[in-house]
Structure 1
Amino acid sequence: MGDDAALQEGGCPNDKNLKNFWGNSPEDEDAYFEQQGVRGTRSFRTSPRGLTLFVRSWLPPAAAPPPRAAVLMVHGYGNDVTWTFQATPIFLAQHGFACFAFDLEGHGRSAGLRAFVPDVDLVVDDAIDYFDSVKNDPRFSGLPRFLYGESMGGAICLLIQFRDPAAYQGAVLVAPMCKISDKVRPAWPIPQVLSLVARVMPTLPIVPTADIMRKSVRVEAKKAVAEMNPMRYRGKPRLGTVLDLLRVTDCLNRRLGDVRIPFIVLHGSEDAVTDPEVSQALYREARSEDKAIRIYDGMMHSLLFGETEENIAAVRRDILAWLEERCDRRVEIQ
């Protein structure tokens, strides 16, 4: 397709009113999935706390062999599981993995005030409940389960594994938010002042930070594509969300040595949103016997969308190789 060809060159379709991240043809999402050789499903589910969540899956075609593993995916702040995020689960489904994700509270099509996440621990509860439903589905029961998280989603994956490290065979952590970069973190005394205001107005969108998307995406034309996402949150971060993310990332930064799950952490050296040095500290300090790290020179925060297609392909290869090796190792053990 012409739109795809433009993106392959690091460009952007000329149409500034894209219906989908891949362009306007085919317009129907199911037709696009069929064209890509995967099956897609979408539905809503109610979490134990009564929150309506939008959930999706991307599966190998029905005629393909059974899935090699289930990859349970968590998106980042301000994003959702459609538009650009789903390019990665589509890629993994093309290689035999069953992928599952949901829009976090206040994101995408899930319930809640836009981009308001007052308690990340409750989001972790939502994720565990949904991921357990996948485990209990007869179609996927017995499959090895891997966590996958981007940015804030990486932090959520680490919090999930703290609850039950043995429940998952590994985690793919893409630019995980174990610490918010000082380049976007509000400077003293702003956090102290905002914490006082947040006690009475936690939903107020006034935190003074730069546009995260523009600090995440390297290819200029792709910024236009990301901007067209109808589900992307464009406002300033809300007080309650930022304060809880600061709480969570400070906690994670102190608990790097408690991580035991097998993992691969991938980070761009020029990431201005989350700190690549903390990913290096995670690799050094984690007690995991099986751990790997990839730091991509010159790459930014959005490793799987915002870079050139050549760079994205390199990151995808590393993720796929890591997952395949652990699936093959499991088969050999059995």
Structure 2
Amino acid sequence: MPPPNLPPLPPPPPFFWGETPEEEYYKSQGVRNSKSYFQTPNGKIFTQSWLPLAEDQPVKASVFMTHGYGSDSSWCFQKICIAYAKWGYAVFAADLLGHGRSEGLHGYIGDMDKAAATSLSYFVSVRRSDQYCNLPAFLLGESMGGAITMLMYFQSDPGTWSGLIFTSPLFVIPEAMIPSKLHLTMYGLLFGLADTWAAMPDSRMVAKAIKDVEKLKIIAVNPKRYAGKPRVGTMREVVRVTNYLQNNFQKVTVPFFAAHGTADGLACHTGSEMLYEKAATPKEDKTLKLYEGMYHSLIQGEPDDAVDRVLADMKAWIDEKAKIFGSESNGN
């Protein structure tokens, strides 16, 4: 029993940065934010944008970002969104089906192709709009969002995307995280009835992702984070899709940047290495950055100096590519 008369734990702050109102915080970061819902054939999804604060500032390119498993676009994932907007990019993100404020059973993605198509429908609507159709456009995915981003790329018409950006993409599952075939087979014999069950073993995913303990405390209190055991259908799809992607990396032809920590306990860095080796993208347009000793969450969970290294590498890459593609778009 806990000792008597202990004061209650304080509630989590309203935002990952603390109590500062959103508009005031975004302004201090040099960006502006907007929120909306987007209706798709598969349900309504929650979307956000982050743009440079000055409305007359030219935008270099658009970047469409997808968060990882159990996460959403409204907590610490914003760090990467805000960074790109500060660099002069128009950033758009959507909560995946079953995540954050989007519709669907929390933590459940029983069809990853459908989840990809759902977010993609929003991204393409923005990408083809009058405001952005002539700018370079990039897809960015983190963790499981990296796998879903790759599915989006495969689902897109040729020429839609100027390039791909991956941070700790889930292309290869670590041995300790692979779901038991026995479990998946047994649940599969229940004719789909068990697909939504939160019944798969939980290997303490958050603790394996975050190196900085203080940042771990903030991420852990995200009110919209899915913190239950992995659902059967979600893990079945992760296994299926990672196998599919490994066998189709050769279909990637656009420039890409992949960042991965060598101590990642949730997504093997060998997946990023496999993409680099197999992709048909010309060698000069492939970039793989392996960060020695870094964990899974490169932007939200590493010490600040390590985060700055990763962001600097990302900025250098996209600034170069946006300049090249922007010149081509202008006929120069």
- TM-score (norm: length of structure 2): 0.92
The partner residue of 1:39 within 27, 32, 35 is 32
Q: How far apart are 1:15 and its partner, in Å?
A: 6.7
Query: How do 1:147-226 and structure 2 match up within 5 A?
Result: 147-163=139-155, 164-197=157-190, 199-226=192-219
C-alpha RMSD of the superposition:
1.6
Secondary structure in structure 1 of the residue aligned to 2:33: strand
1:132 aligns with 2:127: no
With over 3 angstroms needed to count, the CA separation of the structure-2 counterparts of 1:224 and 1:16, relative to structure 1, is farther
Whether 1:82 aligns to 2:74 is: yes
Aligned 1:1-334 pairs, distance under 5 A? 17-24=12-19, 26=20, 28-49=21-42, 51-163=43-155, 164-197=157-190, 199-289=192-282, 290-333=285-328, 334=332
State whether residues 276 and 288 of structure 2, in contact with CA within 8 Å, keep that contact through their aligned partners in structure 1.
yes
Q: Distance in 1 between matches of 2:90 and 2:145?
A: 18
Q: Is the 8 A contact 2:68 2:144 kept in 1?
A: yes
Distance 1:63 1:118 in 2: 40
Contact 1:178 1:274 in 2 (8 A): yes
Judged with a 3 Å threshold, the aligned counterparts in structure 2 of structure 1 residues 275 and 225 are, in CA distance, closer, same or farther, namely same
**Residue 256 of structure 1: CA displacement?**
1.8
Contact 1:165 1:260 in 2 (8 A): no
Structure 1 gaps of 5+ residues are 1-13
In structure 2, relative to structure 1, the CA distance for the partners of 1:157 and 1:165 (3 Å cut) is: farther
- Distance in 1 (CA, whole Å) between partners of 2:254 and 2:185 is 34
Aligned residue type for 1:310: D
In the aligned structure 2, how far is the partner of 1:105 from the partner of 1:198?
22
Superposed CA deviations along residues 1-47 of structure 1, whole A, max 9, x for unmatched, are: xxxxxxxxxxxxx97622110112x1x21121111111100011101
Q: Deviations over 1:156-206 (max 9, x none)?
A: 111112123421000101111112221211245333333334722211101
- Cα distance in 1 between the residues matched to 2:189 and 2:270: 30
SS in 2 for 1:322: helix
| Aligned mates of 1:232, 1:133 — CA distance in 2 | 27
CA deviation digits over 1:273-308, x for unaligned, max 9?
Answer: 111112111101111112110010000100111100
Q: Percent identity?
A: 36
Once the 2 structures are TM-superposed, how far is the Cα of residue 136 of structure 1 from its aligned partner?
A: 2.9
Kept in 1: contact 2:137–2:161 (CA 8 A) = yes
Residue correspondences, number: 318
Check whether the contact 2:172–2:270 (CA below 8 A) recurs between aligned residues.
no
Cα 1:331/1:241, change in 2 over 3 Å: closer
Structure-2 change in CA distance of 1:241 and 1:328 (3 Å)? same
Structure 2: state its 5+ residue gaps: 1-8
Contact 2:45 2:96 in 1 (8 A): yes
